[in-house]
Amino acid sequence: MVNLNMLFWGGVVAVFGVVGYRYAYELSRFSEQLDAIGSKRAAAEVEPADWKVALERGVSGLLAIVGAGMVVGAFVL
């Protein structure tokens, strides 16, 4: 029997992981723009550090793998 709850949440987690991996630079830049609020630096001038983009990609990739595992597990368990 297919576990529909696990299938649904696994799909949601996998989609968030894939989208986060694809748009890691944009998400990191948005985070830096939020951090720039209240500083003298203009939000349009900020750029994310390479380590921050890499961290975003790594976490998002892991999230996509976990989500895919949940989808597969929904059919196996």
**Pairwise CA distance, residues 20 & 27, whole Å:** 7
Q: Can you give the residue ranges of every domain in the chain? A: 4-76
Residues 6+ apart with CB under 8 A from 32: 46, 47, 48, 52
What pLDDT, on a 0 to 100 scale, did the predictor assign at position 54? 98
What pLDDT, on a 0 to 100 scale, did the predictor assign at position 11? 97
What pLDDT, on a 0 to 100 scale, did the predictor assign at position 42? 84
Please state the separation of Cα 46 from the chain's center in Å.
20
Which regions in the chain score pLDDT beneath 50?
Answer: none
**Pairwise CA distance, residues 4 & 73, whole Å:** 11
